[in-house]
A and B are shown apart, each in its own frame.
Chain A
Amino acid sequence: MEFFHKVTRFPFMNTRKVWYGLSALLIIASIGLVTLRGLNLGVDFTGGVTVETNFPQAPNIESLRTALEKAGVANAQVQAFGSSRDILVRLPPDPNAKGDQIGAHILEVFGTVDPGVKLQSTAVVGPQVGQELFVKGGWALFATLVLILIYVLFRFTLKLACGAILAVLHDPICVVGFFALSQMTFDLTAIAAILAVIGYSLNDTVIVFDRIRERARTARKLTIAQVIDESINQTLSRTLMTKLVTLLVVLALLIFGGETLHAFSAALVIGILAGTYSSIYISAALALDFGLRTDDLLERKLTKPEEVDGLP
């Protein structure tokens, strides 16, 4: 079986203004969503208490809420997660709250509604720790981008590296926008997902660049725009096939991984889609607009000498 019998000839470079527009729209929409709706930050980042419970039958959430209020548990968020039988309680950070006691207390209160309730897990994160984790997560994103920029710079040229980083930045922004839109809990695993997305997206971009460099060295008669178009088209089947398989695998995580991995795998799905898009339509196009020329790719003779000897 083969989906791509012939090498496609899509004019990516000529239509690049359209794709820039689409990306700009996505980025503006994401930033708008984050500022307007905000992120539903998890207990990892805000500090506070989460208690997960499991009921034998789906309970009435409203009655759970009133039971908690009556028992003097203030400001509790009660929501179903995963299934309607799994109930999550979230409390804001409270310096006087004792984790072990609050878990037992909530279980006791819920027991009056349904005696069959079970405590699944509790998490208590101090507000200071939450803030630190948030800052650390931000630094991790920044450090990844810088290190990858250095690597791409070392392997390719400055113009390609800038194109790669800008295109790669686009993907986490889309993922964060998705979190603002869906109001899924944004926690540490979401950061892990974003970093994985950066890795994946760059992976595609680098493979396209690799081909551009190779083509630039062998097909000297073509303009750089033609080289880029050809390279993207030649690697298109690989890019789409790989992402298809990766998506299959991530979908398995999304469907079977349960609540703990839900936000993580959803972020990956969005990130992989955005990453595939940005590495096909955006990264090389940006490099072209930064003034990439065939000469830029010839100067650095990093590859084996026999390839250089074979040049016309």
Chain B
Amino acid sequence: MTAYPRWKIALVAIVLCLGIFLAVPNLFGEENALQLARDRAVVTDTDRAAVAQILKEKGVTPTGEFLDQGRLTLRFSTKQDQLKARDVIAEARPDQFTIALSQASRVPEWMRNLGLSPLKLGLDLRGGVYLVYQVDVAGAVKQLLDHHEQDFRASLRNARVIYQDVVVDYPSNRVRVLFRDADSFAKGRAAIVADNRNLNFTDTTVGGAPALELQLTPQEIKDRQDYAVQQNIVILRNRLNSPELAVSEPQVARQGVDRIAIQLPGLQNSAEVKKILGKTATLEFRMVDESNNPLEAAGTGRVPLGSKLYYTRDKQPVLLKREVVVTGDQLTDASFQPNTQEGPAVSVGLDSRGAAKMLKNTQENLGHLMAVVFIDRSREKNAEGVVVDRTTEEVINRATIRGVFSNNFNITGVNPIEGRELALLLRAGGLAAPLSPVEERAIGPTLGQENINKGVNAMVFGMLAAFIFMAIYYKVFGLIADLTLAANVVLLTALLSLLGAALTLPGIAAVVLTVGMAVDANILIYERIREELRNGVSPRAAISAGFDRAFSAIADSNVTAFIAGLVLWLFGAGAVRGFAVVLMLGIATSVFTAVMGSHALVQIIYGGRRKLERLSI
């Protein structure tokens, strides 16, 4: 027998140690926890210190705490501590945090800092609500065409050009400006192009008369659709962090071209969520009233005539003029520009109506402060069951007007983090394509626990059956196979924990199935060894030949199963994807453990013997 190279044995040992290390966080178990999030902002280290101070004063000690993705998680040893801490924080810092009751792993912080975390459980195992929204992308494109139509009419009106009509053709995504004669066409063309330099027009004739045509390219349509979906995702994310909705770890992700999937673990009542997600948001630009003192107005409650009292996000009072400069529906785009001449800025685009008003306003108010107000509207039932509209308004930005501008301008004086957020908020508040729910699944927590128990039972009994069978049928080699099967499960757990892929009930089924695959690889090798022994080959040569010759069959069979997994992952949704991910990872780990792992063990057991006459197989 050619000895199995030492470096391969070492490699197996290293991978296994790494696997155990990565899988260890799953052994710590869970504890009652609180998750603190801020409305439209992240929880900082300062907040963390402040919260720790509050809890210390009240004598509630968390057993652990960590900041992750802008949320602060505090763990408590008892349910009473958890509830007491929630009340204490809510009382000391009213309205500042969204506090959700949840469960968190007892993994120590140093492990967490190394990026180690336990397996995530899917909604079917922990209970919760799954929602899929359809974004009206066709409506978003239609909106864009309508915007262009209005802009063109405005340009022609301002240039005092006589035209026949502006026609929007929705199915073919086209806007045509019809003129009577060549003279007005030339003038009108110049006016429209001057106002819309970023658009590509073509000259054409309709019914013998000249016309100017704007045809959206497939890329422009796709961009517009992507933009609508992205925008809605931003809005939904923001709303899920709102104080009205105490959800721990909400997930919002795009699904396909025009869908958004939302996962809300631990939540039971989907009606509440849908109400909040269905809100509409918008924004306004207003001039700041610089002649009066906002603190005084807030203190006395007497607001000067012609002004209105607002608050910023950090609850600072601001006085703004009653007259609105530009509203959110006139906004066409907003993006963050990290490197302009004046430092980071948010670039804002307005349509022609907005641009005209902005031009007039900036000419008159150079050097004065202008503010952006974010308005969130929601419709809900109050305690008496009457439907009321609730509006939340807050000032998200104030900046000095430094120049005259119209349809395109920069908001400066923001830091990079604020700028990125402001751009998101401006876009989020501006145009949102309508959303409608198309799929909804809710799983109760008891069912989740039942599913876990059933999955674990199936796994334990299935593996036990395989273990016993292998040990009886292949004796020592069977025990080797059992060890590699156990290693396979450890490695698979490690990979899943590392990747943060959520484990679902179909995922557990996939784990059980990969146990089958791993057994298969072992059987292929052992049957081959037996065959060689029957042919009278020496034990060492039989082992060598068994591993060598079985490999091509193992590779072929696993590649085909992997293809099936890959296709499932590409085409599947939800539960099926969870199954596919685990299946693919499981195939990888099972090939590794069954081929390299068991060869290394065989080498360790039989390799050192001088004379090898019989194999226990």
Contact = CB atoms under 8 A, between A and B. Distances in A.
Nearest to B531: A234
Contacts of A121: 441-444, 447
Contact of B441 (A124, A152, A203, A257): A124
B440 A99 contact: yes
Contact of A195 (B132, B559, B564): B564
Q: Which of A126, A191, A204, A248 has the most CB of B within 10 A?
A: A248
Given A120-B447, A206-B553, A258-B450, A241 B473 contact: yes
B447 A199 contact: no
Nearest first, the 8 A-B pairs at minimum CB distance are A252-B462, A140-B571, A199-B564, A203-B557, A199-B561, A258-B454, A126-B438, A246-B516
Given A136-B571, A189-B576, A264-B506, A100 B557 contact: no
A151 B465 contact: no
Nearest to A241: B523
Given A124-B437, A242-B520, 5 more contacts: A98-B271, A104-B271, A245-B466, A246-B520, A252-B465
Contact of B564 (A1, A123, A128, A148): A148
Contacts of B298: none
A253 B576 CA distance: 17
Interface in A258-292: 258, 260-261, 264-265, 268
A242 B517 CA distance: 9
A237 interface: yes
B462 A253 contact: yes
Interface string A132-166: 01001101100110011001100100000000000
Interface in A99-127: 99-101, 103-104, 118-126
A118 B449 CA distance: 14
Contacts of A74: none
B450 to A, nearest CB: 7
B124 A237 contact: no
Given A139-B571, A144-B563, A234-B531, A242 B442 contact: no
Nearest to A164: B560
B541 interface: no
Nearest to A261: B509
A100 B129 CA distance: 10
B461 interface: yes
A245 B523 contact: yes
Interface string B553-585: 100111111011111101111111001100100
Interface string B452-475: 001101110111011001101100
Which size bracket describes the interface of A in this complex?
Answer: 35 or more
Nearest to A6: B534
A309 interface: no
A93 B441 CA distance: 14
A268 B513 CA distance: 10
Nearest to B445: A120
Nearest to A120: B447
A200 B446 CA distance: 34
A196 B520 contact: no
A192 B581 CA distance: 12
A188 B519 contact: no
Contact of B556 (A118, A155, A192): A155
Contacts of B142: none
A238 B524 contact: yes
Interface string B383-413: 0000000000000000000000000000000
B572 A188 contact: yes
Contact of B572 (A140, A255, A256): A140
Interface of A: 1-2, 7, 52, 54, 98-101, 103-104, 118-126, 128-129, 133, 136-137, 139-140, 143-144, 147-148, 151-152, 155, 188-189, 191-192, 195-196, 198-200, 202-204, 206-207, 210-211, 214, 234-235, 237-238, 241-242, 244-246, 248-253, 255-258, 260-261, 264-265, 268, 303
Contact of B451 (A198, A248, A253, A258): A258
A257 B124 CA distance: 13
Q: Which of B454, B534, B565 has the most CB of A within 10 A?
A: B454
B313 interface: no
A200 B561 contact: yes
A74 to B, nearest CB: 20
21 contacts: A2-B473, A118-B446, A120-B446, A121-B447, A122-B440, A128-B438, A189-B506, A192-B572, A196-B564, A196-B583, A203-B520, A235-B527, A238-B524, A245-B516, A245-B519, A248-B465, A248-B469, A250-B513, A256-B462, A257-B458, A258-B454
A307 to B, nearest CB: 10
Nearest to A123: B441
Given A258-B450, A261-B458, A249 B515 contact: yes
Interface of B: 124, 132, 134, 269-271, 274, 437-444, 446-447, 450-451, 454-455, 457-459, 461-463, 465-466, 469-470, 472-473, 505-506, 509, 512-513, 515-516, 519-520, 523-524, 527-528, 530-531, 534, 549, 552-553, 556-561, 563-568, 570-576, 579-580, 583
B583 A129 contact: no
Contacts of A268: 513
Contact of A196 (B466, B513, B534, B549): B513
Contacts of A234: 531
Contacts of B552: 210, 303
Contacts of B561: 196, 199-200, 202-203
A208 to B, nearest CB: 9
Contact of A255 (B440, B461, B528, B556): B461
A245 B506 contact: no
A101 B469 CA distance: 50
Contacts of A257: 454-455, 458, 505, 509
Contact of B527 (A120, A206, A238): A238
A162 B63 CA distance: 63
A1 B450 contact: no
